[in-house]
A and B are shown apart, each in its own frame.
Chain A
Amino acid sequence: MSENKKWYESEGEKSDVVISTRIRLARNLNGYPFPHLMNQAQMKEVNEKVRDALIGGNSALRDRFRYIEAEKLSPVELASYVGRHLISPEFANDPKGRAMLLIDDESVCIMINEEDHVRIQVMASGMQLEKAYDMADKIDTILDETLNFAFDEELGYLTACPTNLGTGMRASVMLHLPASEADGTLRRVAANLGKIGATIRGSYGEGSQSTGAIYQISNQVTLGISEKDTVSNLNDITSQIIALEKKSREKLLASESYQDTVWRALGILKTARVMSSGEFAGLYSALRVGVAEGLVKGITLGQLSEAYESVQPAKLMEQYGEGMNASQRDKKRAEILRDFFRNTDIA
């Protein structure tokens, strides 16, 4: 599996600003309590039912999925999955009785017994909401064939938390917005997003602060609006934010001091011997703009995303030993990054 190219290594649409796209569908089975009230025997039943509905079915997708019981994963593996946005921190904090179905390129991860019985999540690089929804829809239809999800004509798909009633869908895009963050444009835009049914947050979902100017924008309302309209609204909102970011970037890039920031970041990444994850987040943000806007040559945005994923703390520990401490990780991180950036130069 490790030989397979992961979804984030390819470049999607508008990847100069849009890092990735995600669709999540919440679904539940009739006849069982929602996960917060389930006992272990019920959780096991639901795990197996969902697993069999996908892997036991006739779909061409079944051979691409792997069934993983969360409690059999080490804390480092769980943290690494959280870091790659495949599972939620809540899921990882209490793995007992929970399971996941993961596709080979990691673009689809179905969490079983998180807040809802089934959470279908589809990830794609760049701006690909329609494509990601089509995939989520396809998997939902396969599962529904045998699971007959809990549904009400008026309330739509029934969910543990009433905020998700209706489509049970959360569509989101992860954006890199350093220029509009710096000049205050983003703050103005963000204040109005709620009025048009969207939410903006830091990149690790609810409650998190943004690091490295990475923000997530998602739909807020799930009842009374179709999946198609939700996707199209979010597309419109995102396009406007991209346009504002591009405009802010033009001004930012015209300044000598910003070019200096980008090129210094490259210099540090090519030569540093020790690099903390905090320092890397700041350098990464500057460099991403540099690559997207043609100030740096010799690396693509897809490779940059790959570099980003490969030096996350949990990923390093998974790859190079769970016993690594912070200073060992900082050395390893610097080493990996020097290798990634060895063929890059200022353009």
Chain B
Amino acid sequence: MLCEKCKKNEANAYIKTNVNGDVHEYHLCSQCAAEMQNSEEFGSLFHFDSLFTPMMSGFDMVSSLLSSPFGSFGAMPSLTSGKRCSVCGSDFRSIADSGKVGCPNCYTEFRGRLAPTIKKLHGNSVHCGKHSKVTTQESKENETTALKKQLAEAVKAENYELAAELRDKIRAMEA
């Protein structure tokens, strides 16, 4: 088996990390394993859930996720392409270096590249809970438009029971 990191040498080291229950296993050559263990990021990450020691701050952790060996496994694309956010001018390199995203729009423009980090931090989760007013209104409007379409179809099909139900729903939403 080849080392997962350099993909050149034979893997002869096995490293298992457990960051707050998020378990990862790595098969590495001795050189890459030593590098990983010596890297500051690894040290901090490794101790992330050891309590009573000074905690690493949120962004240190993200920074290490974005630019450490962890980030380079799997789907992390090259950091050097020149794309910049159209609102704040950040490129992906500056985001990775600082551990902070440039502006809200960066989440749209660098979505694919931020995804592995977000997944590492939060798992495969999708937001649930409170929604901002704008989106709540938008989704409400989308929903009423869809319901109105269904209502028209129900009337056309002379399904008056369903139509009455839909009409009440629309009224309630528009109230």
Contacts and interface: CB of A to CB of B under 8 A. Distances in A.
Nearest to B66: A162
Contacts of A154: 126-127
B118 interface: yes
A149 B57 CA distance: 25
Interface in B111-148: 114, 117-118, 121-123, 125-135, 139
B61 interface: yes
Interface residues of B, number: 45
Given A154-B126, A206-B55, 18 more contacts: A29-B104, A32-B103, A33-B90, A34-B101, A34-B103, A37-B103, A151-B131, A153-B139, A155-B118, A156-B127, A159-B101, A161-B100, A163-B58, A165-B118, A165-B122, A206-B56, A207-B54, A223-B126
A148 B132 contact: yes
A151 B143 CA distance: 19
A193 interface: yes
A175 interface: no
B58 A161 contact: yes
A152 B127 contact: yes
What are the 7 tightest A-B residue pairs by CB atom distance, in nearest-first order?
A: A224-B125, A156-B127, A150-B104, A151-B132, A226-B129, A194-B49, A223-B122
10 contacts: A31-B87, A144-B132, A149-B132, A156-B129, A158-B107, A190-B51, A194-B49, A201-B55, A207-B55, A226-B130
A224 B127 contact: yes
Contacts of B21: 194-195
A28 B57 CA distance: 20
B59 interface: yes
B87 A220 contact: no
B152 to A, nearest CB: 27
Contacts of A207: 54-55, 57
Nearest to A158: B104
Interface in A318-336: none
A167 B104 contact: no
A160 B104 CA distance: 8
A157 interface: yes
Interface of B: 20-21, 48-49, 51-52, 54-59, 61-62, 87-88, 90, 98-105, 107-108, 114, 117-118, 121-123, 125-135, 139
Nearest to A224: B125
User: How would you classify the secondary structure of chain B's contact residues: helix, strand, loop or mixed?
Assistant: loop
A279 interface: no
B61 A225 contact: no
A163 B62 CA distance: 7
Given A37-B88, A37-B103, A209 B54 contact: yes
A46 to B, nearest CB: 12
B100 A160 contact: yes
Contacts of B135: 151, 153
A166 B55 contact: no
A206 B48 CA distance: 12
B59 A161 contact: yes
A154 B107 CA distance: 11
B133 A145 contact: yes
Contacts of A191: 49, 51
B127 A34 contact: no
Contacts of B127: 152-157, 165-167, 223-224
A166 B125 contact: yes
Nearest to B53: A209
A193 B52 CA distance: 12
Nearest to A90: B57
A238 to B, nearest CB: 16
A228 B99 CA distance: 29
A16 interface: no
A144 B133 contact: yes
Nearest to B130: A227
A151 B137 CA distance: 13
B117 A30 contact: no
B24 to A, nearest CB: 15
B107 A166 contact: no
Interface string A196-231: 000111000011111000000000111111111000
A193 B51 contact: yes
A152 B101 contact: no
Nearest to B59: A161
A152 B109 CA distance: 13
Contacts of A222: 122
A200 B51 contact: yes
